[in-house]
Amino acid sequence: MQSTTMKMSTPMKYIKTVLIFCTIFCASVAFAADIEIRLQDGSIWNGVTGQVITIQYEENGKKSTFTGELTRATKTYIMVGDEFLFIDKITSIEGEQTEPKDDTDSEDISSGTEETGDSTDTAVDDKKSLAVEGDLPKGVFVLPLHQMVGTYFRPTEIRDLIAHIDEKYGPGQIIVFEIHSGGGSVLKWSEIRDVVFEARERHRFIAWIDHAISGAAATGFLCDEVYYRSAGELGSITMYSGHIDNVSPDWQLFGWIKELESVLARTSHTPLVAGCMVKVDLNFSYDVDPETGELTYYAHEFGDVVLSKSGRNLTLGSQEALDSGLCDGIADTGEELAAHLDLEEWIEIDSYGRDIAEQWWATLGEFEQVGNELRAELGGNVSGDSPRERIGNQIKAGEELIRWSKKLGETGMMMGLSEENVSALKRMIEDLKHQRSNL
Amino acid sequence: MMNRLFTLTLVLLTASSAFAFQDDSKVLWSDSVVQTESDGPSILIIPMQGQMHTDIHNSVLAPLADRIKEAKPDYILIEMLSRDWRNEFHKLMGWGDREEFSGYDKGDIMEIAKLFHVELKDIEQVIWVQDASGASSILALSWPTIYMSNDGYLHATMGVSRQFDYINAADTYGKIREAALAHTKALALYGNRSPELLRAFADPEVSLSGTWKGKKVEWEESLLGDFVIDAGEGMPHLTATTSTEVGISVGNVQTRNDVLLAMGIREYHLVGEDITSEITAHSEKWRKDFVKAADAWLDAEQYGRWAAGGDAARYMRKQIGELQRLLKMMEKSPAVAMRMGRKYRIRANQLEKMIEQLEEMLDNLRKGGGGGGRPGGGPM
């Protein structure tokens, strides 16, 4: 064997040299993207991405100077660091053509003369990670998805975060769903599926599983990759409505399984696992090829490793998910997750996702405190010195509920404030006013 | 051996670097289709989006015929997205707003079909079905050239059979069945399709199979063809891919540019954009009007409840006013009238009667008599 290796070494070295040469050549071509910018006065500036330049900029009569790395250039605008500058408003560009910096350096970017704030060295709200076209992202966006699917855990925040990312950072970003939920509305899950699948065409979605049961587990299935915390759990996706004994009929459960399978088919994980998470009499096991490590899955309980047998609906733990190829890794910290994601470090590019989640939880939490009370007051559970005052208080409660319906938006429907109900509320208020006027 | 390895390596590297330098704009194959100011064929877009017989209605389309001709489009591209269920899973779960389901109005379908296939027949037409079910599928099949979105369907309808499936007497059952289904023959004629194909989409009792003759399919009302689409118990619900495989659709597409490229068009310009906008605006308008109409109905109901004692005449007048306002809106917009009928089970002739009765009652009150009995079936 050794002689064979020796014989192969010369051509291999040759190929290796060629490969290195070509790679360096290609890389240099890729970096040396020449840019030609024609300014309003007709002058032409030539340069390359990565170089540091100084821009004189005039907008609405206001003159500004920006110095920083040229990260992107199109026919209509350029990006200097985190500044988005329209070419037709640039009055001059100065900058020596320098050697482009590597990726790490490209995070050190500009400061306009108007800016005085210090940049922080960590994660939050740091636009320095703005992706340059062709570069891999250097950080992530995190959206905590907690509590009930449909009320606290909504498509709305996912949609908002994606819109924010599309607008400010462009395609190719990493979005991490931090999942901790016992499930909820399958209808809302279906909306989440549509939102995620539409955006998966331009972003990479990561599920980071802490506690993902039912609809929350199904949300994990929507992502490109799934990572568990060591105590993470995912599964038990059987549908029921209202009372726990009111399980959906089989024809619906099998339709649900088909839906989950079709979702899993768009990931690297086997669709075969869906059935045993939904129906108690569907099973799941697998074999591991001792030589290749290749996994073979079965919808029965006779494989070497049995994950689900009759009488149980599968909820995966982290290690069994990893061993069975049903997750992509285990990570308890951002740093550990970053390593799995091939990131150098854990950077949250901004805190938008966390902020909107917190805001919504606070809003809904507040409504949960006052909603029932307001309903009772509208229904007549009010105090007052006179019938007029009591009716007035009922009206106030109704008007407050209408204000809440606006705050709750699409979630109003799930909190008893659908459009129809709000319309009925308004008429009830009119009736009360009429009643008061007759006193 | 060495040289071959070297050459192979270089070829692979060149190929890989070539791919690496492709920019995003080359990802979509139809991006080579360019919209211009005036070059290339002129295209008129006719949106058929939303609910049949409200969003899509002949009363909106027919008045546009002359302007469509004046716009002189080389092609009319109809873009249809008109479905009951968002997708198969929603259908399984029973999620969907029944008020938004299309229903089946043969008269409306035929008026739309005649507009495009008789009055505008000199203009080449293509339909892009993004998704269709029931009435919209039947209408779509009246165009000879159909393209379909990858995830689109052509769902059959039970809307026609409801007109005869309750009849027990064999002769009258046969009579009404054929009378109700006859219009599908005309639609098949317009679409240059087999009447058996169209019938299978509307008649739950027939079977449908097909046999390839070259690239075309000959359809028959039996199970004897090369392939069976409908064994007789169900009805056809065809995916875009199946529709293409059996020659109903020309091909699967994702975007308008895909359709145009498939038609052999590399550059084009739009004409009659005001027509396109007007059709789109109709949906928004009638839906706003419907909200006002529903309010008028509910206000009338509220005033009816308040019309008692000394305030009776005052609130009866208000009630009549609201009902008259509603009647006007229903007369002006068939879409509003249809939705009011569906949601509140109220029709224009009932409203007229109700107003008449209330006016009589008011008259009696003025003359010093009692109000008399309230009109039945109304918002009292």
Residues of B in contact with A30 (CB under 8 A): 20-21
For B51-62, write each residue's pLDDT tens digit.
Answer: 999 999 999 999
DSSP string, A17-34: HHHHHHHHHHHHHHH--E
Residue A170 and residue A197 in one domain: yes
The pLDDT of residue A46 is 78
With an 8 Å Cβ cutoff, are B302 and A430 in contact?
yes
With an 8 Å Cβ cutoff, are A252 and B92 in contact?
yes
The pLDDT of residue B375 is 56
CA distance B130 to chain A (A): 16
For residue A48, what is the domain's CATH number? Answer: 2.30.30
For residue A266, what is the domain's CATH number? Answer: 3.90.226.10
Q: Please report, for residues B212, B320, B358, the alpha-carbon distance to residue B376 in angstroms, rounded to integers and kept in the order given.
A: 60, 15, 11
Where does residue A325 fall: left (phi above 0), alpha (psi -120 to 50 degrees), or beta otherwise?
left
**Residue A159 belongs to some domain of the structure:** yes
**Residue A17 belongs to some domain of the structure:** no
- How far apart, in whole angstroms, are the C-alpha atoms of residue A80 and residue A66? 8
**The sheet that has A284-288: what strands, in order across it?**
A295-298, A284-288, A305-308
CA distance A195 to chain B (A): 14
Helical spans, DSSP H, in B150-308: 170-181, 183-190, 195-202, 240-245, 256-262, 273-306
- How far apart, in whole angstroms, are the C-alpha atoms of residue A377 and residue A385? 15
Q: Where are the beta strands (DSSP E) in chain B?
A: 34-35, 42-49, 75-82, 124-133, 146-149, 153-155, 208-213, 216-220, 227-230, 237-239, 251-253, 267-270
The pLDDT of residue A33 is 47
Query: Is B10 an interface residue toward A (CB < 8 Å)?
Result: yes
Residue A15 banded pLDDT, cuts 50, 70, 90: very low
**Residue A107 belongs to some domain of the structure:** yes
Number of domains comprising chain A: 3
In this structure, the number of other CB atoms found within 10 A of the CB of residue B29 comes to 12
Residues of A in contact with B13 (CB under 8 A): 18-19, 22-23, 26
Nearest-CB residue to A427 (from B1, B5, B298)? B298
Total count of residues recorded for chain B: 380
CA angle, B77 then B248 then B178, to 5°: 100
Q: Is the pLDDT of residue A288 over 90?
A: yes
Residue A434, both tokens: 């009429």
Residue B31 banded pLDDT, cuts 50, 70, 90: confident
Q: Is the pLDDT of residue A128 over 70?
A: no
In this structure, the number of other CB atoms found within 10 A of the CB of residue B131 comes to 22
Would you say B270 and B42 are in contact if contact means Cβ atoms under 8 Å apart? yes
With an 8 Å Cβ cutoff, are B21 and A30 in contact?
yes
Residue of chain B nearest A28, judged by CA positions: B17
Residue A90 and residue A148 in one domain: no
Residue whose structure tokens are 């206000």: B299
With an 8 Å Cβ cutoff, are A15 and B9 in contact?
yes
**Residue A335 belongs to some domain of the structure:** yes
Residue A43 and residue A168 in one domain: no
The pLDDT of residue A59 is 75
For B360-380, write each residue's pLDDT tens digit.
Answer: 999 998 887 655 555 544 444
Residue of chain B nearest A263, judged by CA positions: B89
Provide the 8-state DSSP code for B226.
S
Residue B345, both tokens: 């089970």
Residue A55 and residue A105 in one domain: yes
Q: Which helix (H) or strand (E) holds B326?
A: helix B312-332
Q: Please report, for residues A37, A301, A426, B290, the alpha-carbon distance to residue B344 in angstroms, rounded to integers and kept in the order given.
A: 63, 55, 19, 12
The pLDDT of residue A49 is 72
CA-based R_g, chain A, Å: 29
Q: Is the pLDDT of residue B147 over 60?
A: yes
Residue A263 and residue A376 in one domain: no
**Residue A130 belongs to some domain of the structure:** no
Residue A240 and residue A211 in one domain: yes
- How far apart, in whole angstroms, are the C-alpha atoms of residue A331 and residue A346? 12
Residue of chain A nearest B6, judged by CA positions: A15
Residues of A with CB under 8 A from a CB of B: 11, 14-15, 18-19, 22-23, 26, 29-30, 186-187, 190, 251-252, 255-256, 259, 423, 427, 430-431, 434
With an 8 Å Cβ cutoff, are A18 and B302 in contact?
no
**Residue A48 belongs to some domain of the structure:** yes
- Select from A91, A103, A106 the least CA-distant residue to A52: A106
Angle between helices B312-332 and B273-306 (to 10 degrees): 160
For A350-383, write each residue's pLDDT tens digit.
Answer: 999 999 999 999 999 999 999 999 999 999 999 9
Share of chain B above pLDDT 70, in %: 89
- Interface mutation target, options A7, A26, A260, chain B, most CBs of B under 10 Å: A26
- Select from B28, B62, B30 the least CA-distant residue to B46: B62
The pLDDT of residue A69 is 79
With an 8 Å Cβ cutoff, are B302 and A427 in contact?
yes
**Residue A174 belongs to some domain of the structure:** yes
Residue B318 banded pLDDT, cuts 50, 70, 90: very high
Residue A241 banded pLDDT, cuts 50, 70, 90: confident
The strand pair at B251-253 and B146-149 is best described as parallel
Residues of A in contact with B379 (CB under 8 A): none
Residue of chain A nearest B310, judged by CA positions: A438
Angle between helices B2-20 and A2-31 (to 10 degrees): 30
Residue B10 banded pLDDT, cuts 50, 70, 90: very low
With an 8 Å Cβ cutoff, are B93 and A19 in contact?
no
Query: Is B20 an interface residue toward A (CB < 8 Å)?
Result: yes
**Residue A299 belongs to some domain of the structure:** no
- Select from A151, A159, A160, A144 the least CA-distant residue to A187: A151
With an 8 Å Cβ cutoff, are B6 and A434 in contact?
no
Residue whose structure tokens are 């992706």: A131
Q: Is the pLDDT of residue A310 over 70?
A: yes
With an 8 Å Cβ cutoff, are A427 and B89 in contact?
no
Residues of A in contact with B5 (CB under 8 A): 11, 15
Residue A259 and residue A111 in one domain: no
- Select from A200, A136, A153 the least CA-distant residue to A338: A136
The pLDDT of residue A74 is 66
Residue of chain A nearest B16, judged by CA positions: A26
Residue A158 and residue A38 in one domain: no
* Final residue before a domain boundary, out of A121, A152, A179: A121
With an 8 Å Cβ cutoff, are B89 and A255 in contact?
yes
Would you say A72 and A35 are in contact if contact means Cβ atoms under 8 Å apart? no
Q: Is the pLDDT of residue B12 over 70?
A: no
How many A/B residue pairs have CB atoms within 8 Å?
51
Residue B105 banded pLDDT, cuts 50, 70, 90: very high
Residue A41 banded pLDDT, cuts 50, 70, 90: confident
Supply the range of the domain harboring residue A424.
357-437
* Final residue before a domain boundary, out of A121, A150, A175: A121
The overall average pLDDT reported for chain A is: 83
Residue A55 and residue A153 in one domain: no
The pLDDT of residue B5 is 47
Provide the 8-state DSSP code for A88.
G
Residue A301 banded pLDDT, cuts 50, 70, 90: very high
Q: Is the pLDDT of residue A44 over 90?
A: no
Say what the ipTM of the complex is. 0.70
With an 8 Å Cβ cutoff, are B17 and A15 in contact?
no
For A152-162, write each residue's pLDDT tens digit.
Answer: 999 999 999 99
Q: Is the pLDDT of residue A176 over 90?
A: yes
Residue A158 and residue A177 in one domain: yes
Which 124-183 residues of chain B touch chain A by CB within 8 A?
none
The pLDDT of residue A47 is 79
Q: Is the pLDDT of residue A17 over 60?
A: no
What mean pLDDT is predicted for residues B279-286?
Answer: 97
Residue A182 and residue A324 in one domain: yes
Nearest-CB residue to A190 (from B20, B89, B298)? B89
* Distant-in-sequence, close-in-space partners of B331: CB < 8 Å, separation ≥ 6: B337, B348
Residue A76 and residue A214 in one domain: no
The overall average pLDDT reported for chain B is: 90
B36: buried, middle or exposed (CB in 10 Å: 19+, 13-18, 0-12)?
exposed
